[in-house]
Chains A and B, each alone.
Chain A
Amino acid sequence: MKPSPPHRALKFLRWFCREDYIEEIEGDLTEVFEKQYEQSQTKARRKFTWSVIRYFRPEFIKSFKTSSSANSVAMFRHNFLLAFRQFKRYKGTFLINLVGLSSGLACALLIYLWVNDELNVDKFHEKDDRLYQVMQNFDRPNGVVTGDYTPALLAKALLSEIPEVENATLTNTIYQSNWAKGILSNKDNSINTKGILADSDYLNVFSYNLIQGDKDKVLADKNSIVISERLAKKMFNTSENIIGKALDWESEDLKKVFQVSGIFKNTPLNSTVAFDFILNYDILLDNNPESNEWYSDHAYTYLVLREGTDIRQFNDKIARFLSSKHPLRAKCTLFVQQYSKRYLHGKYENGKQVGDRIVYVRLFSIIALFILLIACINFMNLSSAQASRKMKEIGVKKAIGANRKALIIQFLSESILMSILSMMIAVLCVMLLLPQFNVITGKSLHFTLGTGDMLIMLSIVLFTGLVAGSYPAFYLSGFNPTSVLKGKPNSSLREQWVRKGLVIFQFSLSTIFIVCFLVISKQIELTQTKNLGYDQDNIISFQRHGALDVDDFEVFLSEVKNTPGVVSASNMSGNIIKQINLNVGYSWEGSTREDAEITFPSPEVNYAFIETLGIALKEGRSFSPEYSNETSKLVINEVAAKMIGFKDPIGRYVKRGSQEMQIIGVVKNFHYTSFHEIIKPVFFRFDPIGKTVLVKIKAGTERATIEHLKEIYEKFHPKNPFEFTFLDDDYQSLYEAENRVAILSKYFTIIAIIISCLGLFGLAAFTAERRTKEIGIRKILGASVFGIVRILTSDFTKTIVIAIFISLPISYFLAKNWLDNFAYRIDLQWWLFIGTGLMTLLIAWLTVGIQTIKAARINPTECLKDE
């Protein structure tokens, strides 16, 4: 046994050394090595390696430029031509690949557009990286509640007391939004519009650019109004020379004349806040003195921090800022979050950041990647399965001196060509589908062939081409030319397993998609069909506006009630579906001090409210004009009754602050918000001034009745347009995100299945073709059609069954995870999974079946005659 020189050094030498020198050098080195080996093994090895390194100099290094440019152009043309011939010759395979890849790419592209848009929301502000919003954690007995509303005094105080704060501003919160909702008019026009209240630094902090006006001055005084370009066009039909013009403002709380001090560009689509004008925040402070106190939260506070501020340190610094200002704030902790992150990461649970929109962004990115992978797998499988067709070509090429790299390049260029073609089709599809996609996602995405998009597309094409072409390229190019040319089919067990593994992967993903889709749609169905405990059909809700006093409102309401077609009408504060007023400070016999800090949903309702919504009364009575002093009465729900713990709650008292309130009725539980939240204890209080009017209309008379209501409304609210919504539509909007996911997941599931099936179809067709001789012989020997179909499908069946078994536990886990978001959710039943499994199997059988039956019915003489 001859000693062999160090393997790695030798490999290195062979890699870098010039071909015409390698033989001599390697030979001489080996000879020296062998001679030294007899004296000392380690020394010989070391010497050998050292010598190899000594050869690593320009004279001995081969030129790594493989071919001259003329040659590479020729090779490129050659590869291109071969690919086209291949496409032309095997049209079926080509079509399967094209359809699969282009639909995969179209999905990926659409999702990219959406994800990109989501990621760029609120990123347009110049100081984005330093722009933070102040958030507040409230320590409550039932956990930490996080809010983004803060005292109006906070911005100024932080700016003057904390040196890291470079600039600070505030705007009104959503709870004060009615201050900036109303009617703007001049002598020509009158428009119902919505804006914000902000302090004078607002435009220095946020980049809503001014077309006219000086951003330091436009918000300086209380009589100024800064309007959007859009609003300017509507009010004055121009945006030129309108500075200083007057606009009349009328809202519920305020009547005033403002002077236009500036015009800003319309708020961009990727801004989370959209408004048409800005007023000075002091208006709110003047009219609502409570808002200027440390104990009340009336503003959102935004900070620009100095460059290089450490956020963790800063958060520590401001954490106790608020509690030092007022005793009522003892349990409040402040912290900041980057403003542009609020959109995707805005949700907090118990003081910790949780999912929110980012979950969907991640989810869809993963889906896009997987769909693309499924499409790539088709290409990989079909081209490696068809290797036998290419064997001769590869053998001949290798024999006349093509090296492995040239072959790899050939296959990769074929797959990249394929993905370029598919991308073209995908781009067309995306252009056609984008309007529809925008409707589903509620976005206004554009597809521009700009450099950014082009770059992304190019990288997607390259990625797809490389992934799809990788396996065939490295596998096919590795053939041994002698065995290929001898005609020995090179179909190893490993290769078949790789192909099966890829099919398993595809179908596992498809099954997971199906299960997820079913679970999502089942859950959505539950939200639609489950008895909510109240009736939302044929109820319209609208806001009463302006300074309508209580007496006038009573007249209005009674007129509404007397309108033909109206079953009943009532009003409440807040909104039964989206926003019920919350109260703290309730106590009752046996309640602890901590109970006083629990927030209770406690809507203030008018007579007939419970009846209008059809909430079932369990015991007692509801508010009624037959009794006096109803404002000191309470109607509670079952959960509240249980919480208070009275055995017979009717007639007992609950204290709100120092006010004794008598419980007069208990209603059955009803789902007042979305299924994400559990039903909390509700206290209904009586107060006839609530702004949301709810009207139950007799079924079938909606159109006429609404017309009548509109007349009445306009009589009482001149200038205000009658804007109403149906309660069931409001309810639907609670599940907007889920509905979108449901619709999108449906399409993506269908596409994933179609692509997987296309691949399977191609594979089945190919197998059947390869085995025609076998089928012929079997038939001659007496096999039945059914028997042959069974033989041909059994292989696929096994693969698919494995895929199903792999995917079901994964999908169970995913579905359970998603459902945990809901307080009320469907049970994951076993038949859902079994059903999905069977469905996948059925789909696979159908796909394979067409091919196999065709193959099994072949006339044996046909396929055996030519040999």
Chain B
Amino acid sequence: MIEHSLGEFEELVLLMVAAHHDEAYGVLILENLEEKLGKKINISAIHVALKRMENKGFVKSRFGGITNERGGRRKKFYAITALGKRVLDNQYALRTSIYQQIPKISFS
């Protein structure tokens, strides 16, 4: 499943897109991720991830309306696709199943 591979950062972005269904766009994702991760991220990293995932068919996008904000530029909103959701679910299931194999020992 090469084409359905998902990098760590991509996964984070995809989760964000899914969380803010149809309302997610570059800056929003950036800010939420920065808040959750507690570190600075460059906007270009978000765009790279989004474009890659769009190419793989995990997300789809649409343009918003024209406003006077952002120098008159339209926002591009992203939504997760069915495939994207499935990949996310698979990833989650995989991790949980492995996680559950961890023996119940104290890791102090």
Q: Is A490 an interface residue (CB 8 A)?
A: no
Bound Cα distance from A519 to B48, whole angstroms = 74
Bound Cα distance from A30 to B71, whole angstroms = 7
Chain A residues engaging chain B, CB cutoff 8 angstroms:
2, 4-5, 21, 23-32, 34-35, 50-51, 54-55, 57, 59-60
Chain B residues closer than 8 Å to A24, beta-carbon distance: 25-26, 47, 73-76
Q: Is B83 an interface residue (CB 8 A)?
A: no
Q: Is B101 an interface residue (CB 8 A)?
A: no
Q: Which of A4, A23, A32, A50 contacts B73 (CB 8 A)?
A: A23
Asked if residues A31 and B69 are in contact (CB atoms below 8 Å), the reply is yes
Asked if residues A28 and B69 are in contact (CB atoms below 8 Å), the reply is no
Bound Cα distance from A25 to B51, whole angstroms = 11
Q: Is B82 an interface residue (CB 8 A)?
A: no
Chain B residues closer than 8 Å to A27, beta-carbon distance: 26, 70-71, 73-76
Closest to A5 in B: B71
Q: How far is the CB of B29 from chain A (nearest CB, A)?
A: 10
Q: Is B42 an interface residue (CB 8 A)?
A: yes
Q: Is B19 an interface residue (CB 8 A)?
A: no
Q: How far is the CB of A257 from chain B (nearest CB, A)?
A: 95
Asked if residues B27 and A31 are in contact (CB atoms below 8 Å), the reply is yes
Could you give 28 example pairs across A and B, Cβ below 8 Å?
A: A21-B47, A23-B63, A23-B76, A24-B47, A24-B74, A25-B26, A27-B26, A27-B71, A27-B73, A27-B74, A27-B75, A28-B26, A28-B27, A28-B47, A30-B71, A31-B26, A31-B27, A31-B69, A32-B27, A32-B30, A34-B70, A51-B43, A54-B42, A54-B44, A57-B48, A59-B48, A59-B51, A59-B52
Chain B residues closer than 8 Å to A26, beta-carbon distance: 71, 73
Query: B interface, how many residues as a size bin?
Result: 20 to 34
Q: How far is the CB of A575 from chain B (nearest CB, A)?
A: 86
Bound Cα distance from A496 to B47, whole angstroms = 49
Closest 5 CB pairs of A and B: A27-B73, A28-B26, A24-B76, A54-B44, A27-B70
Q: For chain B residues 28-54, which have a beta carbon within 8 Å of chain A?
A: 30, 42-45, 47-48, 51-52
Chain B residues engaging chain A, CB cutoff 8 angstroms:
25-27, 30, 42-45, 47-48, 51-52, 63, 69-71, 73-76
Bound Cα distance from A25 to B30, whole angstroms = 13
From B45, B52, B71, B75, name the one whose CB has the most chain A CB atoms within 10 angstroms: B71
Asked if residues A32 and B43 are in contact (CB atoms below 8 Å), the reply is yes
Asked if residues A23 and B74 are in contact (CB atoms below 8 Å), the reply is yes
Asked if residues B69 and A51 are in contact (CB atoms below 8 Å), the reply is no
Bound Cα distance from A26 to B72, whole angstroms = 10
Bound Cα distance from A55 to B73, whole angstroms = 18
Q: How far is the CB of B35 from chain A (nearest CB, A)?
A: 14
Bound Cα distance from A585 to B45, whole angstroms = 95
Chain A residues closer than 8 Å to B74, beta-carbon distance: 23-24, 27
Bound Cα distance from A57 to B51, whole angstroms = 13
Chain B residues closer than 8 Å to A25, beta-carbon distance: 26, 47
Bound Cα distance from A35 to B43, whole angstroms = 13
Q: How far is the CB of B41 from chain A (nearest CB, A)?
A: 11
Asked if residues B73 and A30 are in contact (CB atoms below 8 Å), the reply is yes
Q: Which of B43, B51, B63 contacts A28 (CB 8 A)?
A: B43
Chain B residues closer than 8 Å to A21, beta-carbon distance: 47, 51
Chain B residues closer than 8 Å to A2, beta-carbon distance: 71
Chain B residues closer than 8 Å to A35, beta-carbon distance: 27
Q: How far is the CB of B84 from chain A (nearest CB, A)?
A: 19
Bound Cα distance from A365 to B47, whole angstroms = 58
Chain A residues closer than 8 Å to B70, beta-carbon distance: 27-28, 30-31, 34
Q: How far is the CB of A493 from chain B (nearest CB, A)?
A: 33
Bound Cα distance from A4 to B73, whole angstroms = 13
Closest to A26 in B: B73
From B27, B44, B45, name the one whose CB has the most chain A CB atoms within 10 angstroms: B44
Q: Which of A4, A30, A34, A51 contacts B42 (CB 8 A)?
A: A51
Closest to A34 in B: B70
Chain A residues closer than 8 Å to B26, beta-carbon distance: 24-25, 27-28, 31
Q: How far is the CB of B33 from chain A (nearest CB, A)?
A: 13
From A2, A28, A29, A30, name the one whose CB has the most chain B CB atoms within 10 angstroms: A28
Chain B residues closer than 8 Å to A32, beta-carbon distance: 27, 30, 43
Asked if residues B42 and A28 are in contact (CB atoms below 8 Å), the reply is no
Bound Cα distance from A31 to B27, whole angstroms = 7
Q: How far is the CB of B15 from chain A (nearest CB, A)?
A: 19
Bound Cα distance from A30 to B27, whole angstroms = 10
Bound Cα distance from A5 to B43, whole angstroms = 15
Beyond A24-B73, A24-B76, A51-B43, 15 additional pairs, beta carbon < 8 A: A2-B71, A21-B51, A23-B73, A23-B76, A26-B71, A27-B74, A27-B76, A28-B27, A31-B69, A32-B30, A50-B42, A51-B44, A54-B42, A54-B44, A59-B48
Chain A residues closer than 8 Å to B25, beta-carbon distance: 24, 28
Bound Cα distance from A32 to B41, whole angstroms = 12
Q: A23-B74, A24-B76 are in contact. Are A29 and B43 (CB under 8 A)?
A: yes
Closest to B64 in A: A27
Q: How far is the CB of A467 from chain B (nearest CB, A)?
A: 40
Q: How far is the CB of B48 from chain A (nearest CB, A)?
A: 6
Bound Cα distance from A59 to B47, whole angstroms = 10
Q: How far is the CB of B42 from chain A (nearest CB, A)?
A: 6
Closest to B75 in A: A27
Chain A residues closer than 8 Å to B45, beta-carbon distance: 54
Chain A residues closer than 8 Å to B71, beta-carbon distance: 2, 4-5, 26-27, 30
Bound Cα distance from A452 to B96, whole angstroms = 77
Bound Cα distance from A25 to B44, whole angstroms = 8
Closest to B48 in A: A59
Chain B residues closer than 8 Å to A54, beta-carbon distance: 42, 44-45
Q: How far is the CB of A17 from chain B (nearest CB, A)?
A: 11
Chain A residues closer than 8 Å to B73, beta-carbon distance: 23-24, 26-27, 30
Closest to B67 in A: A27
Bound Cα distance from A55 to B50, whole angstroms = 13
Chain A residues closer than 8 Å to B51, beta-carbon distance: 21, 59
Chain A residues closer than 8 Å to B42, beta-carbon distance: 50-51, 54
Chain A residues closer than 8 Å to B43, beta-carbon distance: 28-29, 32, 51
Closest to A53 in B: B44
Closest to A52 in B: B44
Q: How far is the CB of B59 from chain A (nearest CB, A)?
A: 13
Chain B residues closer than 8 Å to A34, beta-carbon distance: 70
From B27, B52, B75, name the one whose CB has the most chain A CB atoms within 10 angstroms: B27
From B43, B51, B63, name the one whose CB has the most chain A CB atoms within 10 angstroms: B43
Q: How far is the CB of B96 from chain A (nearest CB, A)?
A: 33
Asked if residues B44 and A55 are in contact (CB atoms below 8 Å), the reply is yes
Closest to B61 in A: A24
Q: How far is the CB of A614 from chain B (nearest CB, A)?
A: 94
Bound Cα distance from A30 to B73, whole angstroms = 9
Bound Cα distance from A34 to B52, whole angstroms = 27
Closest to B69 in A: A31
Q: How far is the CB of B28 from chain A (nearest CB, A)?
A: 9
Bound Cα distance from A21 to B47, whole angstroms = 10
Q: How far is the CB of B21 from chain A (nearest CB, A)?
A: 19
Q: How far is the CB of A32 from chain B (nearest CB, A)?
A: 6
Q: How far is the CB of B58 from chain A (nearest CB, A)?
A: 16
Bound Cα distance from A23 to B26, whole angstroms = 12
Bound Cα distance from A351 to B43, whole angstroms = 72
Chain B residues closer than 8 Å to A60, beta-carbon distance: 47
Chain B residues closer than 8 Å to A30, beta-carbon distance: 70-71, 73
Closest to B30 in A: A32
Bound Cα distance from A675 to B15, whole angstroms = 97
Chain A residues closer than 8 Å to B63, beta-carbon distance: 23
Bound Cα distance from A391 to B44, whole angstroms = 43
Bound Cα distance from A29 to B69, whole angstroms = 12
Bound Cα distance from A35 to B75, whole angstroms = 16
Bound Cα distance from A64 to B74, whole angstroms = 25
Bound Cα distance from A2 to B30, whole angstroms = 22
Bound Cα distance from A62 to B26, whole angstroms = 20
Bound Cα distance from A336 to B9, whole angstroms = 75
